[in-house]
């Protein structure tokens, strides 16, 4: 997976990732954390999806969203593991 920082200003952060699943999940998590963020595809013929974050601490908000998402994935993994062991 490739990740590139497209824009990094005082109140704006934009990152490009060559996968659609992760940016969508991160943008959703950022929105749950009340951060103004969205995910989009800048051009239908070019690879890469972007997360646009408008925040005074965009990098810190992104790190928190990543950690929150990691916790969500671990919780799902544990739930599925428990259910699969019961079979």
In degrees and rounded to multiples of 5, residue 63 shows phi and psi of: -60, -40
47-62: pLDDT as tens digits: 789 999 999 999 999 9
Q: How many CB atoms lie within 10 A of CB 28?
A: 15
Name the residue range of residue 56's domain: 3-86
What is the number of domains present in the chain?
1
Per-residue pLDDT band at 84 (split at 50, 70, 90): confident
Q: What is the predicted pLDDT for the residue at 29?
A: 93
Nearest-angstrom CA–CA distance, 67 and 71: 6
Provide mean pLDDT across the span 25-51: 90
Task: Please give the model's pTM, rounded to 2 decimal places.
Answer: 0.81
Return the closest-CA partner of residue 55 out of 22, 23, 15: 15
Q: Is 38 helix (H, G, I), strand (E, B) or coil?
A: strand
What CATH code is carried by the domain that includes residue 51? 3.30.1360.10
Residues 6+ apart with CB under 8 A from 24: 39, 49
């Amino acid at each position: 997976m490739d990740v590139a920082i497209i824009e990094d200003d005082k109140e704006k952060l934009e990152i490009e990732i060559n996968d659609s699943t992760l940016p969508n999940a991160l943008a959703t998590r950022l929105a749950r954390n009340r951060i103004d963020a969205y995910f989009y595809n800048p051009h239908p013929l070019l690879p890469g999806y972007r997360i646009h974050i408008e925040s005074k601490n965009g990098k810190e908000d992104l790190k928190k969203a990543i950690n929150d998402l990691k916790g969500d994935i671990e919780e799902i993994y544990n739930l599925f593991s428990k259910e699969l062991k019961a079979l």
